[in-house]
Amino acid sequence: MDKQKLLNDTFLKVKNDLLSLDIPISSEICPIVRLSKAKRQWGSCKMSKKYGEYKFYISISKNCFSEPDYINFIKNTMAHELIHTVKECFNHGKVFKYYSGVVSKLGYIVTVKSDSKVVKNDEKKFNDVNHILKCTVCGQLYYRYRFPKDKRYINKIACGKCKGRLVKIK
Query: What would the DSSP string read from start to end of the chain?
Result: --HHHHHHHHHHHHHHHHHHTT----S-B-SS-EEE--SS-SEEEEEP-S-SS-SEEEEEEGGGGGSTTHHHHHHHHHHHHHHTTSTT-SSSSHHHHHHHHHHGGGT----SS---S----HHHHHHH-SEEEEETTT--EEEES---S-TTHHHH-B-TTT--BEEE--
User: pTM above the 0.75 mark?
Assistant: no
Query: Each residue's pLDDT tens digit in the chain (170 positions)?
Result: 688 899 999 999 999 999 999 999 998 888 889 988 887 788 999 988 776 677 899 999 988 888 888 899 899 999 999 999 998 888 889 999 999 999 999 999 988 876 665 555 555 655 677 888 899 999 998 888 778 888 888 888 998 889 999 998 88
Instruction: For the sheet with 131-135, list strands across it.
Output: 141-144, 131-135, 166-168
Sorted by where each begins, the domain ranges of the chain are 3-106, 122-168
CATH number, domain 3-106, options 3.90.1150.10, 3.30.2010.10, 3.40.50.10470, 3.30.300.30: 3.30.2010.10
Separation CA 121–CA 65 (nearest Å): 19
